[in-house]
Amino acid sequence: MTPIVDRHLEEHCRVPTRLSVSNDYSKGDDSLKRRSFLLSCATLCATLSSSASTAVAAADVRAPFIELLLPATRVKLYIDQAVELCKSLKANESASEASSLIPLKDLLENEPAFMTEKEQKLSKRYLEIKTTAAWQDARRKEREARGAEMGIDYTTPYDQVNTAIQQWGDNTQFRILRSRQRKLEKSSTIRTALNAYTNNLVFGDAYQLNVQGEEKKALVRNDALPNVNAVVVSDLDLRDLYRNQVLQNMDDARAEIEYQLKSSDFNVDEVLTCLRQAQSSCQDWFNLIPKGDVEEALKLVMEER
C-alpha cells in the first residue's frame, strides 16, 4: 500500500522533465533513503535552462529513448497472453483436469528474454551519470546554510573530518544498494525489463502544485510544501509499487498453478485472479508514461512479430 505522504504528493504534485535520475536500487525496503541520496546527486549534476521552472504534467516524465520502453511493452503483451490463455481454459468446459494447466505453467515458468543486446547496453546509460562531486557539494552547502540559520560555523576542521566520514558512508551505501538490485534483476527478466525504463527516467527541477485556495494557503503557512526531491521520490516509489505488484502476482499465479496440479479440486479462477491483478498493475505502471510513447512502443513491438 502506498504511504500516505506518497499518495498525497502523487495526487497534488507534478514534476517537469529536465534531470536524469537513476532508479537503480528499486526495492520497497529503504527506497526513501536510497532515492534521497540519488536525487540530491542528480539535482546538482543537471544543467538547468532558463525555462526549467515551467511546470508540465507528470505524464511528460519520460526516459530519453523510446527503445527503453520496448522491453516493458513485451512484458505487458506477455502478461496479456497469459491472461487470455487462462481465460480460454476457464471457458473450455472439457478442460476440467488440472493437467490442462500445463501449457500455462510452461508459459509462466519460462519467461522470454524481453530485452535485446542493444537494449541491454542502452539501459545502462544511467550508470554514466557522475554524481559524487555534486553530492558532496550539496551536503556541504546544506550544512553551511543550516549553520547560518542557527548562527553556527560549520566550516571548521572538525566538520571537514565529519564530512569525509559521511561521504565514505554514502559511497558504501551506494555500492551495496547497486549490488543488491543487480542480483534482484538477475532473478527476474520482468524486473529487468521494467527497470530498464525507470532507471533512465528524466525529471525536472521544479513541480506544479495542483491545490488551490485554503489548502494551498495552509501548506505555505505551515511550511509544508514538498521539495522537488520528495515529489520525485513519490513518483518513483509509485512506479516501484506497481512493478512489485506485477512481480508478486505473477509469482502468486505460478504458486497457484503448482497447488492446482497437486489438488483434486481443479479451479482455474484463482490463477486467473492473480494474472488479472498482474495485468492491472502493469497497466497502472504504463499509465504513468506519456500515451504517445506507449503507443509508439507498442507499434514497434508488434512490427517485430
Boundaries of every domain in the chain: 4-127+189-304
How does residue 92 score in pLDDT terms, banded at 50, 70 and 90?
A: confident
Residue 89 reports pLDDT greater than 60: yes
- Mean pLDDT confidence for 175-185: 75
Q: Which residue has the higher pLDDT, 14 or 149?
A: 149
Mean pLDDT of the chain: 75
Residue 8 reports pLDDT greater than 70: no
Q: Which residue has the higher pLDDT, 241 or 170?
A: 241
Read off the pLDDT of residues 204-213 as tens digits, 9 standing for 90 and up. 666 677 777 7
Residue 25 reports pLDDT greater than 70: no
Spatial contact of 134 and 39, defined as CB atoms under 8 Å apart: no
Q: What pLDDT, on a 0 to 100 scale, did the predictor assign at position 251?
A: 96
- Mean pLDDT confidence for 35-40: 44
